[in-house]
Amino acid sequence: MRNRLLIGWTLVAHFAVAQQVVSPTPDQAGSLRGQNTADYNVMDSFETGYRFAEVAGSIGTFRSDINYGNGIRLLNSNLTVNSRDGHGRWFDQIVLTTMGLGNDPYQSATLRVEKNKLYRYDMLWRLDDYYSPGLPVAAGLHLMDTGRRMQDHDLTLLPQSKIQFHLGYSRNTQDGPALSSVQLCLNGSVYCGTTGNEFPTFENVRRETDEYRLGGDVDLAGFKLTLMYSWVFFKDDSGYQVNGLETGDNRSSGVTLSQFQRSEPFHGANPYWLGNLTRSGKLLAVNGRVTHLRGTGNFFLDENAFGVTPLGAQNQQVMVGGDASRPQVTGDLSISVFPASRLTIVNNTSVNSTRIDGTSDYGQFNMATQTADFVSFRYLGMRTVANATDLHYRVNSWLSFYGGYHYSDRRIMDIEDFAVSGPFSGAAYEQSNHLQTGLAGVRFKPLKAMTVNLESEAGRANQPFTPVSERNYLALGGRLEYRLKRFTFDAAYKENYNNNSITFSSYSAHARNYSANAAWAPRDWFTLGASYSKLHLDSLSGVVFFASPEAVSPLTSNQVYISNIHAANLLARFVLAKRVDLYVGYTITMDTGDGRSTATPMGATDPATLIFAPVQTFPLNYQTPLARLSIRLREKLRWNAGWQYYNYHEQFGLESFYQGYHANTGYTSLTWSF
């Protein structure tokens, strides 16, 4: 019954909680049955129109977040061609969908061409126009304005036979202008201290990854064997340069840069094997998987910098060359046992070994002083063995229990093999961590339409790798679902508490999530949806820091972060006179922080307060009302118009940067479909 209600609901609620971006228009005009042509049925729809955006405030943040612009777009299109008897001459199905073509920042196209028994071809192409002003990480010196293009092609031969062949190709490129930064002392030292300076550099981003896949499936004697080999090649040929005088971020250093050039080609490969063997039966199912990857990278860096320091004109060259490799082996074995129809027991054992090694000969030459520093390479290796047993027992149709015990053991080895004097010693360090986790849950149906789920998970680790890793944690969760044909309500609660007591300080994090979701469809012409979530997070940790130039003694303090995010969402859809579709929505996301009204307490002089108080909390307000109107003009033609307003406001700002903006975006379009 629950499933029937769910399916029924999904049909009713399809438009009640549609996606948050105002276009493209999801409605279809005309018949969904398509038109018959020869032995095929063809369904087609496309929506084309004009999109506009008007922005005030931080355009950089808007482009980083929304990024819609002005112009004519093919907002959306769908083409489906189906063979009516499943015996087409060259194909039995073509499905082509596109989104945002014509200059939207997010464009995609998918294509499937399939001939029963013979082949299946899938293609996915995507373009992301990425812009980031880089304010919150580097005060705007890491601006990026790049495009990422991704495409995946997969061809399966003999898709319905016991022996199948798979061929695939993927390509991922990123290019465009960007800013980066370089920290230089220009005095021949690796470690600059207060005498160093940071300079913006122009970066010409050029990255490319190509992957070729070849594999197959064999279905024999109840076993299914999957084998795949993949050749992955990547290269990063981004270059960096500065032409002209740069005074840098630390003007008191007296270090200026007049010319800078860096080339650092990085080419490599990540070929991998994958093998999987599976068998599924009434009482037992077994699955085993092995992967082996051998990542390699060859690199060279040549950097030249010309500038002036208080010691006079400087000319510094840095040259680095070498390679790195990362072999990785993974194995999994899952055994599922079904001793009774109401009992499922699954045991999984996994092994993972990752090593990073190779050679890197780092040479930094100071042409002026004819001196050089050399450093060599670092090793990092991880080996994890884990075993998990999960049990699920269904007492009857309204009550079930589940539980599990997971154990994992991880060993990490690190060799910091540096040849220069300094803080590195070249010694090897090893650490092992054991994590034990217990999980228990119960699910029951007190009413025909209601399901309640309660669960908890507790974990103990003896030597977590980082201060923020899970050590002693407890997760509690509950969910209530109430689902009728025209009304549904969900409420969920999740709490996660982690306490990681470490040598210097304790780190604790406490997250509580509350969420509720309701949808109501009282009439076929009216649907309503609403959701509310509160996401709470607080964390506390100790910190050692310095708060004056070249200080001798460190200070200690607590670092606190408090976030209270309230997100609400209200959507309504009306169908008027069977030809007018009106959709309105409103979303608001607020982080109320810890309730304070100013970032830093008035009159504060304590360094710890001045440094950490302004970033303990980050209240903000983000609102997006939207509306869409779609009118059927003809059987196959609709006119659409949409508007969405964005208002983003940060209460305290970020350092001296104001990232807030407000924007009106919208579109008008025609949808033609049959």
Partner 1 sequence: MADGYVGSAACKTCHADIWFNFYKNPHYKSVASGDQPPELTGCEGCHGPGKAHVDARGGKTTIPRAFSLMEPIAVLDTCLHCHAGDFQKTNIRRSQHSLADVVCTNCHSIHKPATPQLLLAKKQAELCYGCHSDVRAQFSMPFKHRVNEGFVNCTDCHNPHGSFAPDAGMAESTAMTTRAGGNQEACLKCHADKRGPFAYEHPPVRVEGCGVCHVPHGSTNAKLLVRPVVFTLCLRCHNGADSLGTRNNGVPALSNTHNMLDPRYQRCTLCHVRIHGSNSDGYFFR
Site for partner 1 in 137-156 (CB under 8 A): 137-139, 141-142, 148, 150
**Smallest gap, in angstroms, from Cβ of residue 668 to partner 1?**
19
Question: For partner 1, which stretch binds (CB under 8 A), given 48-56, 309-317, 405-413, 633-641?
Answer: 405-413
What is the Cα–Cα distance from 50 to 244, expressed in whole angstroms? 42
How would you write 480-497 as a 3-class SS string? EEEECCCEEEEEEEEEEE
- Using CB under 8 A as the binding rule, the residues of this chain from 627 to 646 that contact partner 1 are none
Among residues 318, 312, 328, the alpha carbon closest in space to that of 240 is found at 318
Binder to partner 1 among 189, 258, 317, 330 (CB under 8 A)? 330
- Using CB under 8 A as the binding rule, the residues of this chain from 437 to 466 that contact partner 1 are 437, 439, 441, 443, 453, 457, 459, 461, 465-466
What is the Cα–Cα distance from 632 to 576, expressed in whole angstroms? 11
**Smallest gap, in angstroms, from Cβ of residue 376 to partner 1?**
9
What is the Cα–Cα distance from 261 to 265, expressed in whole angstroms? 13
Calculate the alpha carbon distances from 633 to 31, 526, 580, 666 in Å: 14, 21, 9, 20
What is the Cα–Cα distance from 600 to 602, expressed in whole angstroms? 6
- Using CB under 8 A as the binding rule, the residues of this chain from 478 to 507 that contact partner 1 are 479, 490, 492, 494, 502-505, 507
Count of CB atoms within 10 A of residue 246's CB?
A: 21
Decide if 164 contacts 202 (C-beta within 8 A). Answer: no
* Closer CB to partner 1, 150 or 633, in the complex: 150
Count of CB atoms within 10 A of residue 220's CB?
A: 9
* Closer CB to partner 1, 145 or 490, in the complex: 490
Among residues 585, 446, 649, 485, the alpha carbon closest in space to that of 23 is found at 585
* Closer CB to partner 1, 324 or 575, in the complex: 324
- Using CB under 8 A as the binding rule, the residues of this chain from 290 to 329 that contact partner 1 are 291-293, 295-297, 299, 301, 303, 318, 320, 322-326, 328
- Using CB under 8 A as the binding rule, the residues of this chain from 557 to 616 that contact partner 1 are 559, 561, 563, 565, 567, 569, 587, 589, 591, 607, 610-612, 615
**Smallest gap, in angstroms, from Cβ of residue 526 to partner 1?**
18
* Closer CB to partner 1, 319 or 580, in the complex: 319
Question: For partner 1, which stretch binds (CB under 8 A), given 17-25, 365-373, 596-604, 628-636?
Answer: 17-25
In the numeric block, which tokens belong to residue 328?
């990785």
Decide if 627 contacts 642 (C-beta within 8 A). Answer: yes
Binder to partner 1 among 153, 378, 510, 596 (CB under 8 A)? 378
What is the Cα–Cα distance from 211 to 270, expressed in whole angstroms? 9
Among residues 109, 53, 52, 105, the alpha carbon closest in space to that of 76 is found at 109
- Using CB under 8 A as the binding rule, the residues of this chain from 207 to 266 that contact partner 1 are 207, 209, 211, 217, 219, 224, 226, 230, 232, 234, 236, 249-250, 262, 264, 266
Binder to partner 1 among 263, 304, 317, 350 (CB under 8 A)? 350
**Smallest gap, in angstroms, from Cβ of residue 670 to partner 1?**
20
* Beta pairing partners, 256: 308
* Closer CB to partner 1, 581 or 633, in the complex: 581
What is the Cα–Cα distance from 161 to 208, expressed in whole angstroms? 36
Show the binding pattern over residues 63-82: x = contacts partner 1 (CB under 8 A), - = does not.
-xx--------------x-x
Among residues 589, 640, 582, the alpha carbon closest in space to that of 619 is found at 589
